[in-house]
């Protein structure tokens, strides 16, 4: 694999690691929402920018309940998560995405990077956003300012998650 120098990511590697479930930590620290890039929360769920995004604007909707499968969510929580996903797609369309991938990887064997706490990914896509670097370079290029994207998504969430 090629190495691409990306000094702006150094903060990710030097920061203190959260003990326990990172998503429970996000749930339990609303006073740190700006720092954690949480742009929406209510009694059942929160929405947060993905710290390691596939594309600019990639975010997740996470139930507060610490469960690893949708079968353990209450029907109310599942329907609420689904409604927020629908609103999230509208938000990303307003953000300018040409399309959206969204879904849940359930447990480690289902591809979940954090398998113990269910989370739904919303990944904005643009025509031509996949090129050779991903296919043969085993790398991704994120060519925009993460903080700027967060602020744009946060502003749009006030309209689309209302």
Tell me which residues are annotated as active site: 119
| Binding residue numbers for substrate | 31, 50, 121
- Tokens, residue 9: 């990511």
Output b/e per residue, 137-162; b: 16+ Cβ within 10 A: eeeeebeeeeeebbebbbebbeebbe
Q: HEC string of 137-149?
A: CCCCCCCCCHHHH
Contact of 123 with 55, CB cutoff 8 Å:
yes
């Amino acid at each position: 694999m090629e190495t691409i120098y990306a000094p702006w990511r150094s903060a990710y590697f030097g920061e203190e690691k959260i003990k326990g479930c990172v998503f429970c930590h996000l749930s339990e620290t609303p006073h740190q929402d700006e720092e954690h890039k949480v742009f929406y929360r209510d009694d059942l769920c929160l929405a947060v920018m993905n710290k390691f995004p596939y594309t600019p604007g990639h975010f997740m909707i996470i139930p507060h309940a610490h469960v690893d499968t949708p079968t353990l969510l209450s029907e109310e929580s599942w329907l609420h998560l689904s409604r927020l996903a629908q609103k999230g797609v509208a938000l990303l369309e307003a953000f300018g995405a040409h399309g959206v991938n969204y879904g849940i990887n359930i447990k480690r064997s289902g591809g979940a990077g954090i398998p113990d706490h269910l989370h739904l990914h919303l990944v904005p896509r643009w025509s031509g956003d996949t090129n050779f670097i991903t296919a043969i370079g085993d790398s991704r290029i994120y060519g925009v300012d993460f903080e700027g994207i967060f602020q744009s998504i946060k502003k749009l969430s006030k309209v689309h998650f209302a």
